[in-house]
Structure 1
Amino acid sequence: MHNGTDDQDRKTDWAENRTDWAEDRTVLANERTFAGWMRTGMAAIAIAVGLRAVFGAAEPTWVPKTVASVFILAALIIFFAAWRNSGKAQRRLDTHDANEQSTATFGLLAAIFSLGALVTGAILWTL
């Protein structure tokens, strides 16, 4: 036989679990969003390399290099925004059952991708 208090406690537990799971899903969605931003930044670098390859023989040579550099700059901005926004979201959330990435991991990945973008941009200017 169940009394009203037991039913209410069970319902409260279920509601708290649903809330915890929702927060875990949000943490994981934040990580997927970060990965999406990083892919978008990499696509900007790929566009820069592609533009430089297609228009490499154009005169004056600084024109295709400058256009490619715009996409390198866009990639850097994207990587910075991904790091900043994902870190802010991660700090606001608590995980319950999910294993979250640390904000330091976000920063390290954004820094590595940014370094790659800068090196790619420098190489494009030497070609």
Structure 2
Amino acid sequence: MSDKNDLAENRTDWAEDRTILANERTFAGWMRTGMASLAVAIGLKAVFGAFDPTWVAKAAATIFVIAAVYIFWAAHDTATKTLERLNDHHANAQPNRRMKAMAVVFSIASFAVGAILWML
């Protein structure tokens, strides 16, 4: 009887570990989506750089910069909330502070790109 209980407990542990790993893949996917939004901002500025008035192209690019920052923080919030509900067993979950650090760095870089776009 205890073998069945051990097997059921192991399955639950493995499922939780798989969920942690899936959460990390989802976080990475959202971070890539944020970077794609930033790439669109740069692309808009490049394509419409000679557009007159220039502030229109810059404003459109800024929308995508803001969207990128929002995506980074939404990914962070969702991933950390998910990790708080789970226990890692054999998987080594990324610490919440690492996800936060990535969101901070990507956000600062995004604002820097936005500032550069407005200066050009």
Same fold flag (TM > 0.5) = yes
Q: What does 1:1-127 align with in structure 2 at a 5 Å threshold?
A: 8-127=1-120
Q: Residue type of the partner of 1:14?
A: L
Distance in 2 between residues matched to 1:125 and 1:79, nearest whole Å:
22
CA–CA distance in structure 2, aligned partners of residues 54 and 83 of structure 1: 31
Query: C-alpha displacement at 1:99, in angstroms?
Result: 0.5
Q: Which amino acid aligns with 1:18?
A: R
Deviations 1:5-40 (Å, cap 9, x if unpaired)? xxx111110010000000000001111111000000
SS of 1:74 mapped into structure 2: helix
Query: TM-score of the superposition, structure 2-length normalised?
Result: 0.99
Aligned length: 120
Identity %: 57
Q: Which amino acid aligns with 2:5?
A: T
| Counterparts of 1:106 and 1:85, CA distance in 2 | 11
CA distance in 2, matches of 1:37, 1:12: 37
1:5 alignment partner in structure 2: none
Calculate the TM-score normalised by the size of structure 1.
0.93
Query: In the alignment, residue 76 of structure 2 is paired with which amino acid?
Result: W
Mapped to 1, the partners of 2:106 and 2:25 lie a distance apart of 16
Unpaired runs of at least 5, structure 2: none
| Structure 1 segments (4+ residues) deviating >6 Å | none
3-state SS of the aligned residue for 2:63? helix
- How large is the RMSD of aligned CA atoms in angstroms? 0.5
Query: Shift of the alpha carbon at 1:104?
Result: 0.4
